[in-house]
Amino acid sequence: MLSAAGSQGCAGAALLGQGFRVGMLAGLVGDGLATARREIVRVDKRKITIARICITDAGQQAIKD
């Protein structure tokens, strides 16, 4: 799922909804296979903060190996 998302990555909530666990995502980030960043998005008139998870080049390479 992360690989298919490309450079835009996926919202953390979407990944959790697909069965990813917080510990798994934290492990991917800790191992340098993914990055996580906070992003503010507008929903109607509100602004909310989401986590966006992106695969790194090392993560892409790990999938190929």
pLDDT, mean over the chain: 94
DSSP conformation class of 31? T
35 near 27, Cβ under 8 Å? Answer: no
Q: What is the C-alpha to C-alpha distance for residues 17 and 6, in angstroms, rounded to an integer?
A: 19
Render pLDDT for 3-24 as a digit per residue (tens, 0 to 9): 999 888 999 999 999 999 999 9
Residue count of the chain, please give it.
65
Separation of alpha carbons 43 and 59, rounded Å: 31
CB 32 within 8 A of CB 23: no
What is the mean predicted confidence (pLDDT) over 21-45?
96
pLDDT of 65 over the 90 cut: no
Q: pTM of the entire structure?
A: 0.84
